[in-house]
Chains A and B, each alone.
Chain A
């Protein structure tokens, strides 16, 4: 049995046993070698010590040649059984004494070394020690020890190692036999699962998982693979069902043109059952007048191309069939092309329909000849021109022969005023369409045309052709264009004039402002000096003069107020708005409080309702309320109890703020004059004022994007309404008319 065929549990067992046995043997060998070396060293060291003692003791005996004494010293070596022989040499290298006494003369051969040294001979260790006294050399001692101790020790080790190795191998065998079951167990389970699957082809079986190690991963991967196969089995069953139920013939061929698969539709279409075609060449269904077609298509498929074309094939009963064929290469998972799929659709009916269409177009053409006065063309549902009369030839410069069968849009480079899909939808829905198109003549000139399309249907009510009658309106278009240009110029001129006027107006305002500003100083002088004269020289002046001075003072004060108001008005027009969110209730309360001087001796009922917060310039908004409330206070003076109401209401879906009083009111006939500068509806003697206050109010409101108006009836009070931009986000412009 080869190792490759051995079961995995045997392999693992052998691997573990071999490894551990090798390690053990190498270790034991290494230890034995180490021990031998150290033991030999220890032996040499022991012998050296012995040699040194003997040499030291025998120095005098050697020096004074006392043989008896020397022999006695050497004989003390008897206690050391391993020392087999010894000898003392004098300085001339001659043997002086030997041990044992009967030892051979040449028990130590070779030259005597000068220094202490040792050497291992075949079966003994020989040691040389110089004999000295006080540094003077007196001779040499040689000692030899047998290696029996070493050999005994080695033998002991070898037998111990043998027992150890055998015992260890036994234990290892039992241990690894037990351990390898934990590895081979899951593997064997996996193998059992795999066997069960290949035997029963049941891919729903799953291998049990024992652990989370690599084997666990392997089991998981195996189970996932099974799941994938299961899915694919189902998927291919689906695919097969689809192929079988398709109305198109689906045929698989190998690269030599031999049929590999042949679905039900193919059986129906060609009249051959699958059993007759599979394994046969496809040439059977190819008509004999197209001998090279199949070979050419195969070549193209081999290059990876997918081709679609129309052709004719022959049924088993000999009838020709028109087919639309789609030929695509089939690749294996590695991407190599291994075959070809043909999907064939029977288009015999379509071909017949097309032929019928052509016949109809001929009829249409003949009819259109009679309508030569108009510019008429017709196209089939695919956009190919099938009719082109002489009017068209004249209008576009293309002759009939040039355009027949070509796509209309391409020939005329049609540009649509709405999307072609919409036009098509209208045409299908209503049967006709009218509109403007831009076409290009053969000479490149652009034409604007009005186009009328009529959908022509065949006997079954399917779209068969579109009849198109076009009229050139290029000149009319150009005239219209001219008018539009003139209008635009006019508009431009009006805008320029408006800008000029605005500029002049601004200058005028600036001028007014500076004049008014400059008038203030002289006015103050007039007022001041008139007062000084009337106060200081009052006694000296006749009553007539005093009255005149008083009139001058009144006049100059009036003028001063007027100038201030005018400056205010100008400022309102000029100053930049600082918009911020301002709640109106506190502001109104402020204004009422500030009017204390005017209201001191009056009975006034204030009705101040909840007011919104507005996005506006707080200073200017306060001016608005100051002026309106001051007006209300002023014009209610004749009333015993003045009633002034401030609030908001909805008028026509718009939030409007109002100030109502029960004062003298005004005649609505003059309402249009109310907000003009210096416009006063009452005599100065009745109600003082400059006629600027409401003008300021109107201007502030206008600058905030709002409107102001008033309603009144003489002697029945007045109400001032105003709106502000952003007061009501849902306000609709124009939904409310100015009263």
Chain B
């Protein structure tokens, strides 16, 4: 059932974004990526208030998804928890979430964001590869109509997160301080 609902909305999103062209399709894929990353990542148990707490996906800065992300995660579960999307206009508004999508508008401030979230179990996802060398965990890169990952394993370890080896198999591993 869950799969069918998901497929329906995914198709719906696809249809909606058809007019948006290349960019709309790209964010559709990235929204799906965010959903799938939730499946391939393990959070420490103290990351959640209790067993019914939802898994929060935060979007920082200018939201490139529109309604696509909401459609993608509605009714979906990861690790037995509901997926909820929150949006923060600026770094100052940032609250503790589980996945933080840092949009391109905030890419320049990634150092500060990383500092702010230091030691907290937050999977930081950068739209593009710039932040990964500066302590962001995952960078989403678009290559020939496909999404590629760059993963900073040190950052993931510092945040207390465990990434599935199957995910790593698809990713390019980058260390802090190196330019990708």
Contact = CB atoms under 8 A, between A and B. Distances in A.
Contacts of B77: 135-136
B2 interface: yes
A90 to B, nearest CB: 9
Interface in A51-88: 57, 59-61, 63-66, 69
A136 B40 CA distance: 11
B19 interface: no
B169 A69 contact: yes
Contacts of B94: none
Interface in A110-139: 133-138
Nearest to A72: B169
A92 interface: yes
Given A134-B39, A135-B77, A91 B3 contact: yes
Contacts of A133: 36, 39-40, 164, 166
A60 B3 contact: no
B147 to A, nearest CB: 7
Contacts of B29: 65
Given A134-B39, A136-B2, A136-B39, A60 B166 contact: yes
B42 to A, nearest CB: 9
Interface string A172-189: 000000000000000000
B7 A91 contact: yes
B117 interface: no
Given A69-B170, A134-B39, A136-B76, A64 B7 contact: no
A120 to B, nearest CB: 27
Interface string B80-113: 1000000000000000000000000000000000
A65 B146 contact: yes
Interface residues of A, number: 17
A64 B36 contact: yes
A404 to B, nearest CB: 135
A60 B167 contact: yes
A61 B170 contact: yes
Classify the secondary structure of B's interface with A. Answer: helix
Contacts of B147: 64-65
A128 to B, nearest CB: 15
Nearest to B166: A60
Contacts of A134: 39-40, 78-79
A91 B80 CA distance: 20
A135 B78 CA distance: 8
A64 B78 contact: no
Contacts of B48: none
Interface string B145-156: 011010000000
Contacts of B33: 64
B6 interface: yes
Contacts of B76: 136
A69 B169 CA distance: 8
A483 B169 CA distance: 159
A91 B40 contact: no
A57 B10 CA distance: 24
Contact of A137 (B2, B11, B169, B170): B2
B63 to A, nearest CB: 22
Nearest to B6: A91
A59 B166 contact: yes
B12 to A, nearest CB: 13
B140 to A, nearest CB: 10
A529 to B, nearest CB: 143
A713 to B, nearest CB: 155
Nearest to B76: A136
A60 B78 contact: no
Contacts of A135: 77, 80
A138 B166 CA distance: 14
Contacts of A65: 29, 146-147
Given A133-B40, A136-B77, A92 B170 contact: no
A264 to B, nearest CB: 120
Interface in A34-62: 57, 59-61
Nearest to A73: B169
B78 A57 contact: no
Contacts of A59: 166
A60 B164 contact: yes
B78 A137 contact: no
A91 B169 CA distance: 21
Interface in B12-39: 29, 33, 36, 39
Nearest to A69: B170
A519 to B, nearest CB: 138
A63 B40 CA distance: 10
Contacts of A61: 166, 169-170
Contacts of B146: 65-66
A92 B7 contact: yes
Interface string A364-388: 0000000000000000000000000
Contacts of B39: 63, 133-134, 136
A64 B170 contact: yes
A372 B167 CA distance: 166
**Residue with the highest number of chain B CB atoms closer than 10 Å, among A59, A63, A66:** A63
A92 B7 CA distance: 7
B2 A60 contact: no
Given A69-B169, A134-B78, A136-B77, A63 B36 contact: yes
Given A65-B146, A66-B170, A136-B77, 17 more contacts: A60-B164, A60-B166, A61-B166, A61-B169, A61-B170, A63-B40, A64-B149, A91-B3, A91-B10, A92-B7, A92-B11, A133-B40, A133-B164, A134-B78, A134-B79, A135-B80, A136-B78
The 5 closest A-B pairs by CB, nearest first: A60-B166, A137-B3, A63-B36, A133-B39, A134-B39
20 contacts: A59-B166, A60-B40, A60-B164, A60-B166, A61-B169, A61-B170, A63-B40, A69-B170, A91-B3, A91-B7, A92-B7, A92-B11, A133-B40, A133-B164, A134-B40, A134-B78, A134-B79, A135-B77, A136-B3, A136-B76
Interface of B: 2-3, 6-7, 10-11, 29, 33, 36, 39-40, 76-80, 146-147, 149, 164, 166-167, 169-170
